[in-house]
Chains A and B, each alone.
Chain A
Amino acid sequence: MKNRMKKLTAMMLAGVMAFSLTACGSGGDESKSNSSAKSATGDKKTIKITWWGGQSRHDYTQKLLDAYTEEHPDIKFEGIPAGWDGYFDKLSTQAASGSMPDIVQMDYLFISTYAKNGAVADLQSYIDDGTIDTSNIDDTILNTGSVDGKMAGMVLTTSSVATGYNPEVFEKAGLEMPDGTWTWSDFIDANKKISEMTGQESVLVSSGATGDVTQLRYWMRQHDEKLFNDKGNGLGYKDDKVVADFFKMWKEMVDNDIYSDPDEEAQIMTKGLESSPVVTGDAGTVFDWNNYSSRVSSVNDKIRITTPPLSDDTKETGLWNKPGMFFSVADSSKVKDECAEFIDWFVNSKEANDIIMAERGTPVSSKVRDEMVESGKLGDQQVEMFEYADKVTELAEDTPKPDPEGIAEVQESLKNIGNSVFYGQSSPDDAAKEFREEATSILERNK
């Protein structure tokens, strides 16, 4: 009898344990399904939204969401802020498990990957019926979100490559301020002087000269070449010499201690934006985007931007207007209509843009831009950014197609090949050949 009691207790305990474990395991899901069940009944709808960025972006975006909820009490948000690192790793996992947030801040790099696999919704119908007002948006820019005839993302901002510089450093080195007419050799000469003065490398590239395809793409465009072909299934240039020249130029900068080798660069990158050598006055120039000065203005408001160097041979600039970032809506979302309304508010309303203050880049709506300039609330850096955007629109040629599927792998390959050049393990010519081989096989596999 006693024994049986014991056993019974044990069994019950085991049962309780098993039950509580399952309860724990599915706890997260339960709350999710609760909220979506609620939204189906119509009293309150929850939009999950995720974005990457720094702390200041997280802070004001949360404010933005609160402001929208105040105006639309039936809409609630669940904001999921993240850093750029790991953002797309997480997103792909969420997409695979069908738990992608409703609104996703999307980059030009990956929009075609998500669009071609049907993970994001087509927003065209919302543009057609006027839910998202696009009347003040340039068509070329708007269409950067279109993949295979589907509007895979609503473009929010534009940006273009720019060179940030520290005027105080230039002054100390006895140099004239850059005015956008410099060529690569002028650029190198100026930075040589600065490096000699500071004893430190004066050229920085926020994502590394070969860390992604941005610098290479700029270089290719200066030489009237395309990095990828229009179909996105192969490289767009014939002669490897252009790429070899690119490697050669940067390798020389490494050898002359103007530009950091990958080892030093890794160390600089861990310091983060706020204490990068350009901001602290230890380096002269940095390749970044045209919102650079406005992004660092809270730490150093002296930083300015100018156009990157012109080609020595062609005297051309390779500038283009890049869609800065997009909002895409998950195909699995149950609140697409509400998402579209929010996106319209984000893009077009004065109220939202007064909070954003162009931190995400130059707003796509010309009306918003004008309103912001007229309001006089903009700082020098933002005015500079807007002027820069206008200048680029004048100078720029067509925007490249969205990056092909497989871009992440191409960039990894470029990074490794670039590093092997900078470490002196392969010659620029061999490296260019190797890049062609690797990139071609990656792109063919992903087409």
Chain B
Amino acid sequence: MGKKKSVYKTKDNVTGYLLLAPWIFGFLIMWLIPMIISIFYSFTDFNMLNKPSFIGMENYMRIFTKDKSFWQALKVTFTYVLFLVPLRLIFALFVAMLLNKNHKGLGLYRTLYYIPSLIGGSIAVSIVWKQIFGNKGAVMSLLAAFGINQKMSFLGNPKTALGVIILLGIWQFGSSMLIFLSGLKQIPGSLYESAVVDGANSRQTFFKITLPMLTPTIFFNLIQQSINGFRVFTESYVITDGGPLDSTLSYVLYLYRRAFNFFDMGYSCALAWILVIIIAVFTIILFKTQNKWVYYETGGDSK
């Protein structure tokens, strides 16, 4: 870029910043400042009512050495992410491919499939799921009608409860689906045409053309959904309240309990920062792997 433009640039910047001002204001007041304060709290014994006093690394020490629930919450959250993200992406891609054709009323379908993502995280839907999978709920009654009597419901059984929560997560595939759909639309039709001319079947076109061309989209979805997955809260809070036997105690739910039920805000802030670090490390690892499998048509190394 030439130097000539730089004068205009600074002038333009002012407008830009002014337009951004509402966002920057919100970011500072609602995000950055609370985050910085929470670093401070994580080194104190703040219980929401007292004046916090500095206790050094004690919170962090307690988390790693004395807190069984921390490890349980970590295990639950990792299991959740590792199952949820691949399954959700596969399902979203599958639906996106179905919708990437010229049916009648396609817009309607797209909207319909997006609805779960809008309402899936809500309290109302969580309660519905509780009714469906809970004791004497629809699923149990249905199984009983087929002669499969179960003493315990899927939500009451510590082995299956997390599965129900994951299922609810997969069901909210809408936003990944939309991103996949736009990714699919960007793959040039000429590629498919020449493949057909060369006699490739649909399986081959999927694995040799669609999937490689979609890798940037998959990568984006993977990162976004993983980060979202680590933050799961509503489902385990409303449907199971972390139970039975802590089998659905997600990390954020545990953190919430510490802060607001157990008057342990300082500790909770320490937990939050550990989660931030975990997510950061996870994301960095994903980025490191991208050279191996993500294909950018314009040349991914242009940065």
Contacts A7-B11, A263-B135 hold; do A113 and B245 have CB atoms under 8 A apart? no
Contacts A89-B261, A95-B49 hold; do A17 and B22 have CB atoms under 8 A apart? yes
B-side contacts of A406, CB under 8 Å: 262
How far does the Cβ of B53 sit from chain A's closest Cβ, in whole Å?
Answer: 13
User: Is the pair B47, A117 in contact by a Cβ cutoff of 8 Å?
Assistant: yes
- Measured CB to CB, the nearest residue on chain A to B8 is A3
B-side contacts of A117, CB under 8 Å: 47, 49-50
- Measured CB to CB, the nearest residue on chain B to A10 is B15
User: Is the pair A263, B157 in contact by a Cβ cutoff of 8 Å?
Assistant: yes
Q: Please, how many angstroms separate the alpha-carbon atoms of A319 and B191 in the complex? A: 81
Contacts A7-B11, A119-B49, A419-B244 hold; do A263 and B263 have CB atoms under 8 A apart? no
Q: 1/0 per residue B17-35: CB within 8 Å of A?
A: 0110110011001000000
A-side contacts of B265, CB under 8 Å: 96
How far does the Cβ of A98 sit from chain B's closest Cβ, in whole Å?
Answer: 11
Q: B14 an interface residue at 8 Å Cβ cutoff?
A: yes
How far does the Cβ of A25 sit from chain B's closest Cβ, in whole Å?
Answer: 8
- Measured CB to CB, the nearest residue on chain B to A409 is B262
Q: Please, how many angstroms separate the alpha-carbon atoms of A88 and B261 in the complex? A: 7
Interface size range of chain B in the complex: 35 or more
Q: Please, how many angstroms separate the alpha-carbon atoms of A117 and B135 in the complex? A: 42
B-side contacts of A14, CB under 8 Å: 15, 18-19, 21
Number of interface residues of A (CB under 8 A): 40
User: Is the pair A21, B15 in contact by a Cβ cutoff of 8 Å?
Assistant: no
Q: B88 an interface residue at 8 Å Cβ cutoff?
A: no
Q: A425 an interface residue at 8 Å Cβ cutoff?
A: yes
- Measured CB to CB, the nearest residue on chain B to A425 is B245
Q: A262 an interface residue at 8 Å Cβ cutoff?
A: yes
- Measured CB to CB, the nearest residue on chain A to B156 is A263
Q: 1/0 per residue A3-29: CB within 8 Å of B?
A: 000010011011101100110010000
Contacts A92-B263, A405-B263 hold; do A419 and B245 have CB atoms under 8 A apart? yes
Q: A198 an interface residue at 8 Å Cβ cutoff?
A: no
Q: Please, how many angstroms separate the alpha-carbon atoms of A10 and B14 in the complex? A: 10
Q: B174 an interface residue at 8 Å Cβ cutoff?
A: no
User: Is the pair B134, A18 in contact by a Cβ cutoff of 8 Å?
Assistant: no
User: Is the pair B245, A416 in contact by a Cβ cutoff of 8 Å?
Assistant: yes
User: Is the pair B135, A267 in contact by a Cβ cutoff of 8 Å?
Assistant: yes
Q: A282 an interface residue at 8 Å Cβ cutoff?
A: no
A-side contacts of B29, CB under 8 Å: 25
How far does the Cβ of A399 sit from chain B's closest Cβ, in whole Å?
Answer: 24
In chain A, positions 138-191 with a C-beta closer than 8 Å to chain B are none
Q: B110 an interface residue at 8 Å Cβ cutoff?
A: no
Q: A56 an interface residue at 8 Å Cβ cutoff?
A: no
Q: 1/0 per residue B68-96: CB within 8 Å of A?
A: 00000000000000000000000000000
Q: 1/0 per residue B199-222: CB within 8 Å of A?
A: 000000000000000000000000
Q: Please, how many angstroms separate the alpha-carbon atoms of A342 and B133 in the complex? A: 48
In chain B, positions 137-167 with a C-beta closer than 8 Å to chain A are 137, 152-153, 155-158
Task: Report which of B14, B134, B257 forms a contact with A11, defined as CB distance below 8 A.
Answer: B14
How far does the Cβ of B252 sit from chain A's closest Cβ, in whole Å?
Answer: 14
User: Is the pair A89, B49 in contact by a Cβ cutoff of 8 Å?
Assistant: no
In chain A, positions 113-143 with a C-beta closer than 8 Å to chain B are 113-114, 117-119
- Measured CB to CB, the nearest residue on chain A to B249 is A416
- Measured CB to CB, the nearest residue on chain A to B259 is A92
Q: A68 an interface residue at 8 Å Cβ cutoff?
A: no
- Measured CB to CB, the nearest residue on chain A to B66 is A441
Contacts A22-B25, A263-B152, A441-B66 hold; do A10 and B18 have CB atoms under 8 A apart? yes
User: Is the pair B263, A113 in contact by a Cβ cutoff of 8 Å?
Assistant: yes
How far does the Cβ of B288 sit from chain A's closest Cβ, in whole Å?
Answer: 39
Contacts A17-B21, A18-B22, A88-B261 hold; do A263 and B153 have CB atoms under 8 A apart? yes
Q: B260 an interface residue at 8 Å Cβ cutoff?
A: yes
- Measured CB to CB, the nearest residue on chain A to B158 is A423
Q: Please, how many angstroms separate the alpha-carbon atoms of A409 and B257 in the complex? A: 9
User: Is the pair A263, B262 in contact by a Cβ cutoff of 8 Å?
Assistant: no
Q: 1/0 per residue B115-127: CB within 8 Å of A?
A: 0000000000000
- Measured CB to CB, the nearest residue on chain A to B17 is A14
Q: Please, how many angstroms separate the alpha-carbon atoms of A269 and B257 in the complex? A: 21
Q: A412 an interface residue at 8 Å Cβ cutoff?
A: yes
In chain B, positions 229-285 with a C-beta closer than 8 Å to chain A are 243-246, 257, 260-263, 265
Q: A264 an interface residue at 8 Å Cβ cutoff?
A: yes
User: Is the pair A93, B260 in contact by a Cβ cutoff of 8 Å?
Assistant: yes
User: Is the pair B18, A18 in contact by a Cβ cutoff of 8 Å?
Assistant: yes
Task: Report which of B22, B66, B257 forms a contact with A412, defined as CB distance below 8 A.
Answer: B257
A-side contacts of B260, CB under 8 Å: 89, 92-93
Q: Please, how many angstroms separate the alpha-carbon atoms of A10 and B50 in the complex? A: 47
Q: A276 an interface residue at 8 Å Cβ cutoff?
A: no
How far does the Cβ of B239 sit from chain A's closest Cβ, in whole Å?
Answer: 10
B-side contacts of A21, CB under 8 Å: 22, 25-26
Q: A355 an interface residue at 8 Å Cβ cutoff?
A: no
Q: A225 an interface residue at 8 Å Cβ cutoff?
A: no
Task: Report which of B11, B155, B261 forms a contact with A263, defined as CB distance below 8 A.
Answer: B155
Contacts A92-B49, A405-B263 hold; do A263 and B244 have CB atoms under 8 A apart? yes
Q: B48 an interface residue at 8 Å Cβ cutoff?
A: yes
- Measured CB to CB, the nearest residue on chain A to B241 is A266
A-side contacts of B26, CB under 8 Å: 21
- Measured CB to CB, the nearest residue on chain B to A417 is B245
A-side contacts of B136, CB under 8 Å: 264, 267
User: Is the pair A416, B246 in contact by a Cβ cutoff of 8 Å?
Assistant: yes
B-side contacts of A408, CB under 8 Å: 261-263
Q: 1/0 per residue A79-97: CB within 8 Å of B?
A: 0000000001100110110
User: Is the pair B262, A261 in contact by a Cβ cutoff of 8 Å?
Assistant: no
A-side contacts of B22, CB under 8 Å: 17-18, 21
User: Is the pair B243, A419 in contact by a Cβ cutoff of 8 Å?
Assistant: yes
Task: Report which of A15, A92, A114 forms a contact with B18, defined as CB distance below 8 A.
Answer: A15
Q: A270 an interface residue at 8 Å Cβ cutoff?
A: yes
Q: Please, how many angstroms separate the alpha-carbon atoms of A89 and B263 in the complex? A: 9
CB<8 Å pairs between A and B, sample of 6:
A21-B26, A89-B260, A117-B49, A264-B135, A406-B262, A425-B245
Chain A residues with a Cβ under 8 A of chain B: 7, 10-11, 13-15, 17-18, 21-22, 25, 88-89, 92-93, 95-96, 113-114, 117-119, 261-264, 266-267, 270, 405-406, 408-409, 412, 416, 419-420, 423, 425, 441
Chain B residues with a Cβ under 8 A of chain A: 11, 14-15, 18-19, 21-22, 25-26, 29, 47-50, 66, 130, 134-137, 152-153, 155-158, 243-246, 257, 260-263, 265
Beyond the given A7-B15, A262-B244, please list 13 additional residue pairs across the A-B interface where CB-CB is below 8 A: A10-B19, A11-B18, A18-B21, A21-B26, A25-B29, A117-B49, A262-B156, A263-B156, A263-B244, A267-B134, A405-B263, A416-B246, A425-B245
